[in-house]
Amino acid sequence: MLVAGDLHSRGAVLVVDAVTGAARTIADDAVYGSLAPAPDQRSCFVLRCGIGTPNRPVRLPLDETADSPTVFELPAPGAVAGVPGRLEWVETDVDGLTVGGWLCTPEYANAEQPAPVMLWIHGGPHGSYNAWSWRWCPWLAVARGYAVLMPDPAMSTGYGHAGLNRGWPRRADVVFTECETLLDDVLRRPELDGQRTAMLGASFGGFMANWIAGHTDRFDCIVSHAGLWALDQQHRTTDAAAGKMRVHLHEDDNPEWYRTYSPHYAANRITTPMLITHGNRDYRVPISEALRLWWDLASRWPGTPETMPHRFLQLTSENHWVLTPSNLRVFNQVVLAFCDQHVRGADPVPDVLPW
């Protein structure tokens, strides 16, 4: 059997003997998927990608070892000639535990021109920042002049049961402690500007964005896409309600967890400008989460409407993801413009979007 999966913020391909169960790793330097044995039975065709490279079809010999895999790239459209910045793996220590992530930095960033920094927290929570994404592509932000830190904190895949269970069930404080510690560590670099920062996340990352907004004011702005807001509401209305209620129970039976981790309890403490984006056809995190978050922010704003810093981008034809090319362009333009406004002092995002 050929088996592919996440491994240590990358991925791996294993050859498994179906009779004995013996396994041998033949590649672990990138993310591999869509495995298909070649006719010669001595190699396989796979799609290979990483944070800096989109999926490319390759042929991988089955007699290779992970120490020195021979990867033969096949001719195909869709190659990216190069990314507009540097990609680096970074690590830090959190109470004796190594937590790592990918750091994407503009080429020009230096002590004289330090880059503002975005912290991205991935969805899932059982997921990993290990592969190329056209929907959440850090290189768009890097091309705009930002450095992007993409950690793999507690509950990330590719680190065994210990990684999955650390911070379970969905403990936002554990995840943020690990992400913030790694962020603080990289901000010691002179080429990064710790005084200009933003935080972004989608799905579970959006939940983290909403929770972080009520527990710190260290970021200049926060972007939350498809984020959970009121967990007692979301756990009953998601299409994954059975699993959510089984794990987290009813709020009357588990009041301390809900009180600690449902972001809406900290609504009064939010002072950071927030951009909320959501798809109307989202069944995993229903639009009601964004509508309630927006109302809680807008109704609590003490000033006049035109001075309120929060914004809401409602994507009426999208689901949990932003998939339509035209909508994806608008989404990225709005996200970057909102961050430019609050992180870099650019002009406000216009009420009527020009994109």
pLDDT value at 65 more than 80: no
Give the mean pLDDT of the chain: 95
Residue 311 lies in a domain: yes
The answer on 132 and 64 residing in a single domain is no
pLDDT grade, residue 130 (50/70/90)? very high
Mean pLDDT value of segment 268-280: 98
Mean pLDDT value of segment 65-75: 81
Q: In degrees rounded to 5, what are phi and psi of residue 48?
A: -125, 135
pLDDT at 63: 83
The answer on 235 and 111 residing in a single domain is yes
pLDDT value at 330 more than 80: yes
pLDDT value at 67 more than 90: no
pLDDT at 71: 85
The answer on 56 and 14 residing in a single domain is yes
Domain boundary among 45, 73, 101: 73
Percent of the chain with pLDDT over 90: 91
Rounded-to-integer distance, Cα 315 and Cα 210, Å: 19
Domain count, the chain: 2
pLDDT value at 66 more than 80: no
pLDDT value at 70 more than 90: no
Residue 255 lies in a domain: yes
The answer on 106 and 21 residing in a single domain is no
The answer on 198 and 285 residing in a single domain is yes
The answer on 143 and 9 residing in a single domain is no
The answer on 268 and 324 residing in a single domain is yes
**Which residue range forms the structural domain that includes residue 117?**
86-344
Rounded-to-integer distance, Cα 107 and Cα 85, Å: 5
Mean pLDDT value of segment 275-300: 97
For 210-259, write each residue's pLDDT tens digit.
999 999 999 999 999 999 999 999 999 999 999 999 999 999 999 999 99
pLDDT value at 338 more than 80: yes
Residue 355 lies in a domain: no
The answer on 58 and 206 residing in a single domain is no
The answer on 308 and 215 residing in a single domain is yes
Residue 238 lies in a domain: yes
Mean pLDDT value of segment 8-21: 94
Domain boundary among 43, 73, 103: 73
Q: CATH code at 175?
A: 3.40.50.1820
Q: 3-state secondary structure string, the chain?
A: CEEEEEECCEEEEEEECCCCCCEEEEECCCEEEEEEECCCCCEEEEEEEECCEEEEEEEEECCCCCCCCCCEECCCCCCCCCCCCEEEEEEEEECCEEEEEEEEECCCCCCCCCEEEEEEECCCCCCCCCCCCCCCCHHHHHHCCCEEEEECCCCCCCCHHHHHHCCCCCCHHHHHHHHHHHHHHHCCCCCEEEEEEEEEEECHHHHHHHHHHCCCCCCCEEEEECCCCCHHHHHHHCCCHHHHHHHHCCCCCCHHHHHHHCHHHHHHHCCCCEEEEEECCCCCCCHHHHHHHHHHHHHHCCCCHHHCCCEEEEECCCCCCCCCHHHHHHHHHHHHHHHHHHHHCCCCCCCCCCC
The answer on 66 and 92 residing in a single domain is no
- CA distances (Å), 213 to each of 24, 276, 293, in order? 45, 12, 12
| pTM for the predicted model, two decimal places | 0.95
pLDDT value at 64 more than 80: no
